[in-house]
Amino acid sequence: MSEFPVESILTNDQIKNLHIAFDKRDEGKKGAVPPEKITDLIKEVFGPPLNGTLIGYAKDLSKNLSENGGLSYENFIVVVKHLMFETTRWGVLKTAPERPIGLDSIQDQVKQKLLRFGLTFNIMIVGSSGLGKSTMMNTLFKSKVNRWMASDTSQEPIIPPTVEIKTISHVIEEKNIRLKLSITDTPGFGDHVNNVKCWEPIIKYINDQYQHYLSEERRIERKPRIPDTRIHCVIYFIAPTGHSLRAIDVECLKRLVKVVNVIPVIAKADSLTLEERQAFKNRIRNDFERNGISKLYPMLHKGLEEDEFQKNKAIKNQLPFAVVGSDQFMSIKGTPVLARKTRWGTIEVENPSHNEFPQFRDMLLRTHLHDLIDTTAEVYYEHYRRNQLQLVQDGDS
C-alpha cells in the first residue's frame, strides 16, 4: 500500500458523516461491513459519479484490509483517506463555504490563459490519394488549410515513390481564441503496386515527435513551454468500396492504434446509397473486431465517469464516420450551404440526415479536441516515455 505524501486529518463533520454511512451498512452492528456492501458504502460516501477505476481500487483495498470477513471502521477510514487523495469528488465529505469565495472565476482564469497562449492541435491525415483528404480539411476548418491551396503551386506533383511526410501549419483565430493547427499529410501511402510496410514512415514520424518532446523534457534548462509537435489525432480515410477493409488498411490500423489516437472515416460517402453505406459500416466494424482493432478513439475505460462513458460509447458506435467534404457553396432555398452535386441529388455537407460530417466535426472540434490532446499526453506519450526510460535504466544496470 502506498504511503501518503501528506497525512490529512479528518474534520469533525467528516467523521460524523463517515460514522453515519458506516453504521447504515453495518446491519448486524458487529463493527464491520461485509464485502458485498463495500461498493454501496463507498458510493454513499463519495457519490455515484465516482468512476469505475476508483471503485475497483477501493474494493481491492477493502479486500486486503478486511478481517474475519468484514471491513472494520478503522480500516474503512484508511480506504476513505486513500480515495480522498485520489479524487476531488468527495461527496458527503465536501466542505460548503458559508459565503461565495470566488471559485466560479476559475473558468475565466483558464480562459484567459487560453487567450494568452492559444492552443496547439496536430492532425495527421492518412489514406490513399483521391479520397478528398485535403478538401475534408478545408471543410472542417472552413479555411484553405490544405497544402496545395495554401501554397503557390498550381499543380500537384506526381505521386512520390515512397511515403513522404509533409506538414503545414496555420494559426486560426475565432472569437479571440487562437488555434495553432498543424496538418501532416502522408502522400504516397497505399498508392503503389508494392505497399509492403508503407506504414513504417508514418509510425516512425509519430514516434520521432514523442522522442523530440522527451528530449526537451529531459534538458537541464528546459523551455517554459515545450513546443508540441506530437500528433494528437490521425484521421484515417477509408475508400468507399462498399466491400470491406483492404489488407493495407487492416495492417496499418493495427499498428497506428498502438501509438496514436485514430479516428476512421469513410471518405466520399456520397458515392454510396444510405443502405450501401450502413452495410459497409457494419462490415468495417466486423473487420475491426475480427482483427483486434479495438483501441480506436474515443476510448472506453473504467476511469471515465458515467456520463463521459456513455457519450464516448455513443460516438464509438458511429465509427467509422461516413463523411462528405466540399469547399463549394450552393444556394439551398435561398441560403448558401456547403454542398455537392451527385447522381442522387444535392448532398448538404452539414446536414446530419445526408452524411455524418456534422457528428465528426462536433466530436473532433467541439467536444473532444482537448481530450485528444490530453489522451496523447497521458496515454500514448506516457507509454512511449516509460518505455524509453526503462530502456535507459536497463542499459545502466
Q: Look at the block and give the residue holding cell 441529388.
A: 345
For residues 339 and 332, is the Cβ–Cβ distance under 8 A? yes
Q: CA-CA distances (angstroms) from residue 307 to 53, 87, 262, 304? A: 15, 17, 22, 8
All structural domains of the chain, each given as residue ranges with its CATH number in brackets, are: 12-93 (1.10.238.10), 110-396 (3.40.50.300)
Greatest alpha-carbon pair distance for the chain in Å reads 83
Give residue 1's pLDDT: 47
Give residue 4's pLDDT: 54
Nearby residues of 7 by Cβ (< 8 Å), 6 or more positions away: none
How many residues are present in the chain? 397
Give residue 181's pLDDT: 94
Give residue 286's pLDDT: 96
For residues 242 and 231, is the Cβ–Cβ distance under 8 A? no
Q: CA-CA distances (angstroms) from residue 385 to 123, 253, 311? A: 21, 22, 29
At residue 312, the 3 state secondary structure works out as: helix
Locate 68 and state its grid cell.
Answer: 474475519
Q: Is the dihedral of CA 223, 224, 229, 233 positive or negative?
A: positive
Q: Look at the block and give the residue holding cell 510496410.
A: 197
Beta bridge partners of 348: 339
For residues 178 and 119, is the Cβ–Cβ distance under 8 A? yes
Give residue 194's pLDDT: 67
For residues 51 and 302, is the Cβ–Cβ distance under 8 A? yes
Nearest to 271 by CA among 236, 310, 242, 314: 242
Nearest to 217 by CA among 226, 209, 207: 226
* pLDDT, tens digit only, all 397 positions of the chain: 455 556 678 999 999 999 999 999 998 888 999 988 999 999 999 987 777 778 888 889 998 999 887 999 999 999 999 999 888 889 999 998 888 888 888 888 888 888 888 899 999 999 988 899 999 999 999 887 765 544 444 455 555 555 679 899 999 998 888 999 999 998 878 776 567 788 999 999 999 999 999 999 999 998 888 999 999 999 999 999 989 999 999 999 999 999 999 999 999 999 998 999 999 999 999 999 999 999 999 988 767 777 888 899 999 999 999 999 998 888 888 888 888 887 778 889 999 999 999 999 999 999 999 999 999 999 999 999 999 999 988 877 6
Locate 343 and state its grid cell.
Answer: 447522381
Cis check: omega of the bond before 224, within 30 degrees of 0: no
Nearby residues of 210 by Cβ (< 8 Å), 6 or more positions away: 230, 380, 381, 384, 385
CA–CA separation, 152 and 136 (whole Å): 20
Nearest to 252 by CA among 269, 240, 235: 235
Give residue 104's pLDDT: 81
CA–CA separation, 129 and 116 (whole Å): 38
In one-letter notation, the amino acid at residue 319 is: L
CA 48 remoteness from chain centre: 24
For residues 221 and 181, is the Cβ–Cβ distance under 8 A? no
Nearby residues of 95 by Cβ (< 8 Å), 6 or more positions away: 11, 13
Kindly report the pTM of this predicted structure: 0.83
